[in-house]
Structures are given as C-alpha cells and as structure tokens.
Amino acid sequence: MSENATTHSTASARVSPAVVRWGILGTGFIAGLQTSDLVEHGFNVQAVGSRNAATAQEFADRFQLPSAHGSYEALVNDPDVDVVYISSPHPFHYDNALLALNAGKHALVEKPFAMNARQAREMADLAESKGLVVLEAMWTRYLPHMVRIRELIGADALGEVRTVIADHNQNLPKDPGHRLNDPALGGGALLDLGIYPVSFAFDVFGAPARIRAAASKTATGVDRQTAMIFEYADGQQAVLHCALDTAGPNRAAVIGTAGSIAIDPVWYTPTAFTRYDDGGHVVERFDQPVTGRGMQYQAWEVERLIAAGAIANEVLPPHGSVQVMTAIDAVRGEIGVHYASDVLP
C-alpha cells in the first residue's frame, strides 16, 4: 500500500512575517540565497550590513531593502533590526554572533555554527544569559521531508533504527587561494560539506559514543575528502562521507529492522523519499513541493521561537549545535586538521 504524505505537518508553524525585522550580516552567495527566500515568502527584511558600504548598498538595491550599513556594528545596532542572519565566512561566525547577541539581537548563524565546540558553547551560553535566540542555520532539519522522517522514526515505523548513510560530495573550486582551500578561512570538505551528514547523524541518533575518521588532504593542508564512522552505545552506526573535488550521488538512507528510507538526491535540499518495508516493498512515497530554495523554514522557526518567548527548540537547540561541533572537533583530531581558532587568544 502506498501512502501520499503531502498532508503531513511541515517544519514549523508560520507566524506573521511582520513580527520580526531581519538584518542580513554579509553579502555573499549564501546570504543572497537566504535573503531571496525571505523576500519571496513575505518576511520583513529591513537592513543589510557589510564591511564595505558600496557592497551593502548594492545588496540592498538588489533586494529592495530599506537600509544598508557599511559595518557590521552599524547593522547590529540598527533599532529597526530584531534578528541578525549571520552569513560571514566560517572563522567569523563566533565574533559576529557575539556582536549581535551583545547588541540584544537574536541570531540565525550559518553552519558550521562555529569553528569549534569552545566557541559554540560560548555563543550558546551568551544567548541563554540574555534570553535571546541563537539558532544554527542547518536549514535541512526544517525541510518537510526531514520533518516527516523524524515523525516516522518517532512512530517506530522503521522498527529499531540501526544505520544512517549519507554523503555530500561536490566538485568545487580548486584554486589554492579560494576560501574552501584556505586553512585561515576554515577551508576543507568537513566544515563546508561534511557538516550536513554529521548533523543528520545527530538528528537521528544523537551524540556518538565513538568516532573514527580518515581523510586525504589538499596541498594547502585542508581535508579534500573525509570518511567517518560514528558508533553508538546500542550498536547503531552512521557512515558518512564528504569531498570537495569530486561530484557524488548525494544520497542518504535510514535503515531499521522493520524497513528503510531512501532519500532522493540531493538529500539535504528539498526533495522526496521512498519508505520500504523489510521486504523491500514501497509503503510510502513522500514528495511535498517547496517554493524557493527552502531556507524560509528555518527563518519561520526563528520567528516562531521569538513569538513564543522561547530561546531553544527540540529540532536543534544551541546545546545540540555544541554537540555537533564537539564531534567535528573529534573528527579533526582524527584526521589532523587544525585551525587558528583552536588556539585560545
């Protein structure tokens, strides 16, 4: 029997976009994608901030935003901004998040949440002390197909879940000066790409009891490809892979004793999945259309939290992001990748 799941609940209840006024910190590619989804779905995007006034104005003109600021400090101190979306390069997430939080602004922080668990913990602790939302922008967790997968796992539809398999492989720029290949900018496959399968494993199983990892490096010293096995106390395993110079299938699966789920490529973007019983028969095909890129769901979650007077959710609370970064730290320890951020100032 096949079940069409398009009527199942979406990632989070939408609140009025007029409740929260957004500011965009950074004007890069991902900032443009997030802002496009915000504007398309009726969010109140008030301002953008850049280290360059001309760049900020160009971005504001592109999305018809009311205000452009030539510094991040000016953006976070804008009285017409309630929440700051942080889309600066990896090593600056920590400083920019602290900047926004200390200005009394909620923050949606691009992944990886920070460069390491120490920074992530400081961000989470500061937000909690100030009663503010700090949410990692792991947009995949809020997409409709991921919400449905959590529902199925919670209902024991797969029996005892034993295995998660996920890869994220792309053919990205090989220029040694590109940020992806630059250790000073947090380059490498793990932080840019591996963060997705790692976070997915946490979404299904939580924190692992043991981590094994192996990697190959580029000439600049960042990980070119990394393979990981997460082992859990009850014997479950997550088999994860990422690479930045080879395009891959970008598939994921969840396997249990009573069935399995095969997520279509690209699994971490809005997509469909097929659920099978333990005999390999299709019992559900989930395919819920999503407008835009799908980054609006995480923004709706920020607004939902603010409207509810809450600072954390169950999907990915700040301490969950700290746990993810703790695992990333452990992987980096296994493969011998280090960043300047690891050294206390």
- Give the whole-angstrom CA distance, residue 265 versus residue 281: 20
- Give the whole-angstrom CA distance, residue 303 versus residue 223: 36
Residue 273: what are its φ and ψ, rounded to 5°? -150, 160
Q: How many structural domains compose the chain?
A: 2
193 in any annotated domain: yes
User: Where is the domain boundary, 93, 114, 139?
Assistant: 139
12 in any annotated domain: no
pLDDT profile of the chain (345 residues), mean per 10: 36 53 98 98 98 98 98 98 98 98 98 98 98 98 98 98 98 94 96 98 98 97 97 98 96 98 98 98 98 98 96 98 98 96 85
14 in any annotated domain: no
Same domain, 302 and 160: yes
- Alpha-carbon 213 to chain mean position: 21
294 in any annotated domain: yes
Query: Rounded to whole angstroms, what are the CA distances from 132 to 100, 127, 314, 316?
Result: 10, 5, 16, 15
What pLDDT is attached to residue 7? 32
State both tokens at 101.
């939080």
159 in any annotated domain: yes
What pLDDT is attached to residue 255? 98
CB neighbours of 177 closer than 8 A, spacing ≥ 6? Answer: none
Same domain, 127 and 213: no
Query: Rounded to whole angstroms, what are the CA distances from 195 to 52, 72, 167, 297, 331?
Result: 29, 26, 10, 19, 11
Same domain, 131 and 214: no
What pLDDT is attached to residue 17? 43
Find the domain containing 289 and state its range: 140-342
Same domain, 119 and 158: no
218 in any annotated domain: yes
Same domain, 248 and 211: yes
Closest CA to 123 of 287, 340, 324: 324
What pLDDT is attached to residue 169? 98
- Give the whole-angstrom CA distance, residue 11 versus residue 9: 7
What pLDDT is attached to residue 345? 73
34 in any annotated domain: yes
Cα angle 264, 38, 9; round to 5: 50
7 in any annotated domain: no
Same domain, 161 and 260: yes
